[in-house]
Amino acid sequence: MNAAKLTFTAALGFICCSFGSLAQTDASLPPHPRLLLNEEGVQQLKQRVAAASWAKASWEQLKANTEKALLSPVELPPRGGNWSHNYVCPTHGARLSQGRKIGPWQWEHICPVGDHVLRGDVSKATLDFDGNAIAAIHGAYAEQAVNDGLVYQVTGDKRFAVRAREILLAYAERYLKYGLHDNQGKSGQGGRVASQSLTEASWLIDMAEGADLVWDTFSQNERELLAAKLFRPALDQVILPRRLGIHNIQCRHNSAIGLVGYLLGDEKLIKIAIDDPAMGYRQQLAKGVHDDGMWLEGSSGYHFYTMSGLWPLAEAARNCGLELYNEKYRAMFDGPLNLAMPNLTLPNFNDSGTVALRGQSDLYELAFARYHNNAYLPLLKDSERRGRLALLFGVVDLPPCGPSATTGCRNSPASGYAILQQGTNTDATWLCLKYGPHGGGHGHPDKNSFVLYSRGKIVGTDAGTHAYGSPLHRDWDKTTLAHNTLVIDETSQAPATGKCIAFGTEHGVDYAITDAGPIYKGVKYTRSVAMLTPEVIVFVDQVESDAPHALDLAYHSIGTWEIADSSPVARSWMPPDATGYKHISRAQARLIDNGSLDLRMKLEDGWFSCLSIAAGEPIEIISGYGILKTTEDRVPILLQRRHAQSTAFVWAICLIGTPVKLRVSQAKDGSGNSLPLATAALVQANAGKRQWALLCNPARLPLVAPLPNGALLRTDAPFAVR
Ligand SMILES: [Zn+2]
Ligand SMILES: [Zn+2]
């Protein structure tokens, strides 16, 4: 094993602390403000602005925007907002953007694909685009209340306290008049200001922080009014009844509950938020974070979404004398650095887009202030420290920073990511094989799928997620076909947890073998991936079932097909009427009896890849186009189709566009019987002038394999290279 290899767990090695919370009652709590910043935090903010030009620039910007907002009257929308996932073009599945205002609480909405402008229709949630604009206005008022409170605390200028008071009291007067409504537009449930408890909680966090910053300006009567007509009903009617267990949404709920508890000095609320035995803050970290630091939903987006939901409570508790920044929370900052691609981007597994860690640098400002881990420094430097958390919590004098990305191969059994990486800097080739826990409601049926990155780009793709309101989410993103893995009988895999069988390096070849787990009844599917060089990756997909099935091995790439005229004659191929498949277009099929097939694609101008497929047994090769970002964003899909009970697919990706010569042969067991390829496969690979013999033996049988040079390889290792 390469010295550079390490498991995430070993790298983190955290200790889980548990503190019993002492009772925190109004009498024992420090004076307001005590949520976002306490008195000391306000003093530190003043010093930061005085000492650092980046902080001064941010502060001046915040102050100017807040001052400007004073000029427009507080005019609350007539109704609550719509769900962000409904803000998509019903024709193209693309996210809309807001155009010009065309009437009271009415706007134009622009589709980026069809070059057409849409109008909202309040009668249907999926068309209530004005409701999305209204959601943004509610959010902006809550944010304004916080900013007004901050400017008031730092400058003492009462105009800003007046404005924050005005916003808060207006909502206290209006809140209960907004009808409960949900993401589908159904009334009587969901939220009031927002269409779901999650968004209501985010809004309430800001409202509580804003109220806390100007709390000294409210009379006792006003405080009671805010509690009775805004804060408590939001908790009692929208947030507290939705108990979600270990869930990213619950983390945000907990912050809303805890912040209102700290605001009102309500010990019971504080206890629910932090210590609820099923879903409090402590349980979220103890049960929701894998021991590699990654959030259990297996989605990069939700990982950070969860983290940003956790810190408001951790800060408020800290301001009130309770330390919630434990080692498990720290692991959530460390884990993504180990998972990231060489350009510091996280893959879009499960319901997620890709996440650029540089885009999260502001969260790492807070992390550095609390944990002082120098591994976060490159992110801080790159962001030029322009974010809000840098302004509020950033450390003024940072130590010098080292290299920014994790290098070498690494395997994380906890989340189920085996990462093979060769090459240098952002040009390196990185492949992440995914075999871990399904990830709950945000999981995708994609065991043994992978994302492939090279030269600064994702080459082998995962569709990630479209907006949840788009039909593509259900009909494409959540199908196995949309992933780089095995589909059986045109039906998606069952949610499953796989396992890593082998991971290591031999003769300069990095490899991983993973078992997909119980994805189909009576089927065993193992994938061996061998990164021979930064340009050549060989896959051996071994499938064994208790009955014959239609097997489709899918691969999705960026770019366009460039199939040579010399390749075997193709016939056009009509996709079956099965979920996912009907989105395949311009497909051709080629039948290969033996030998091999090389198909080229253009990844971008001047950059080609080549897929080489060793037939061994008859195979149908289908090349067509699948979906990336929208129904118009078509990218190559390859299906290797075979009807079999037991088989091995042997194929390679060459990232410099030249064919890899592949030859597959059988190995023998100790008694001299030939083993089926699904059990053991010896693969000879030639690329350029180099040659490798790879033996894939996931069941670890003692076997004998004839090497190309005539020698016999005797081993019971799951993987061998000669
Ligand atoms: Zn459109
Ligand atoms: Zn996916």
d(CA 359, ligand 1 centre) in Å: 28
d(CA 352, ligand 2 centre) in Å: 8
d(CA 451, ligand 2 centre) in Å: 10
d(CA 464, ligand 1 centre) in Å: 20
Q: 10 exposed, middle or buried (CB, 10 Å; 0-12, 13-18, 19+)?
A: exposed
C-alpha span between 36 and 314 (Å, rounded): 10
C-alpha span between 621 and 209 (Å, rounded): 59
d(CA 368, ligand 2 centre) in Å: 31
Find, among 450, 687, 457, the residue nearest to 558 by Cα. Answer: 457
C-alpha span between 528 and 448 (Å, rounded): 9
SS3 call for 260 = helix
Is residue 239 within 8 Å of residue 255, measured between CB atoms?
A: no
Helix (H) or strand (E) holding 117: strand 117-119
pLDDT score recorded for residue 289:
96
C-alpha span between 707 and 702 (Å, rounded): 16
Ligand minimally distant from the alpha carbon of residue 109: 1
Tokens 């064994």 found at? 544
d(CA 479, ligand 2 centre) in Å: 8
d(CA 92, ligand 1 centre) in Å: 4
Ligand minimally distant from the alpha carbon of residue 353: 2
Residues whose CB is less than 8 angstroms from the CB of residue 716 and which lie 6 or more positions away in sequence, other chains included: 697, 700, 701, 702, 703
Is residue 130 within 8 Å of residue 108, measured between CB atoms?
A: no
d(CA 113, ligand 1 centre) in Å: 5
pLDDT score recorded for residue 382:
67
Strands (E) across 237-373 are located at: 345-346, 355-356
pLDDT score recorded for residue 56:
97
Kindly state the tokens that stand for 254: 């907990």
Question: What b/e string do you get for 243-252 counting C-beta neighbours within 10 Å, with b at 16 or more?
Answer: eeebbbbbbb
d(CA 579, ligand 2 centre) in Å: 15
d(CA 119, ligand 1 centre) in Å: 12
pLDDT score recorded for residue 23:
62
Bond from prior residue into 33 cis (ω within 30 degrees of 0): yes
C-alpha span between 119 and 108 (Å, rounded): 6
C-alpha span between 41 and 370 (Å, rounded): 13
C-alpha span between 269 and 31 (Å, rounded): 18
d(CA 454, ligand 2 centre) in Å: 19
Residues whose CB is less than 8 angstroms from the CB of residue 221 and which lie 6 or more positions away in sequence, other chains included: none
SS3 call for 300 = helix
Identity at 121, one-letter amino acid code: D
Phi, psi of 26 (to 5 degrees): -55, -40
d(CA 455, ligand 2 centre) in Å: 22
Angle at the Cα of 465 (from 459 to 468), degrees rounded to 5?
165
d(CA 88, ligand 1 centre) in Å: 8
Q: What is the dihedral of CA 500, 505, 509, 512, to 10 degrees?
A: 0
Q: What is the dihedral of CA 237, 142, 305, 366, to 10 degrees?
A: -130
Q: What predicted TM-score, i.e. pTM, was given to this entire model? A: 0.86
C-alpha span between 83 and 128 (Å, rounded): 9
Is residue 201 within 8 Å of residue 256, measured between CB atoms?
A: yes
pLDDT in tens, 47-86: 999 999 999 999 999 999 999 999 999 999 999 999 999 9
d(CA 634, ligand 1 centre) in Å: 16
Kindly state the tokens that stand for 414: 């906890």
Q: In what order do the strands lie in the sheet with 668-669?
A: 668-669, 703-706, 712-715
d(CA 200, ligand 1 centre) in Å: 29
d(CA 674, ligand 1 centre) in Å: 57
Provide the residue count of the chain.
Answer: 722
CB atoms within 10 A of CB 625: 18
CB atoms within 10 A of CB 257: 31
3-state DSSP of 402-454: CCCCCCCCEEECCCCEEEEEECCHHHCEEEEEECCCCCHHHCCCCCCEEEEEE
Is residue 448 within 8 Å of residue 524, measured between CB atoms?
A: no
pLDDT score recorded for residue 460:
97
Q: Kindly give the residue spans of alpha helices, DSSP state H, lying in 35-157.
A: 39-51, 53-69, 129-155
Q: In what order do the strands lie in the sheet with 6-7?
A: 6-7, 410-412, 417-422, 429-434, 449-454, 457-460
pLDDT score recorded for residue 8:
39
Residues of the chain with pLDDT under 50: 1-21
d(CA 98, ligand 1 centre) in Å: 13
pLDDT score recorded for residue 568:
83
Q: 400 exposed, middle or buried (CB, 10 Å; 0-12, 13-18, 19+)?
A: exposed
Is residue 581 within 8 Å of residue 490, measured between CB atoms?
A: yes
d(CA 438, ligand 2 centre) in Å: 11
CA distances from residue 36 to 200, 239, 553 in whole angstroms, order as listed: 18, 21, 51
Identity at 55, one-letter amino acid code: A
d(CA 128, ligand 1 centre) in Å: 15
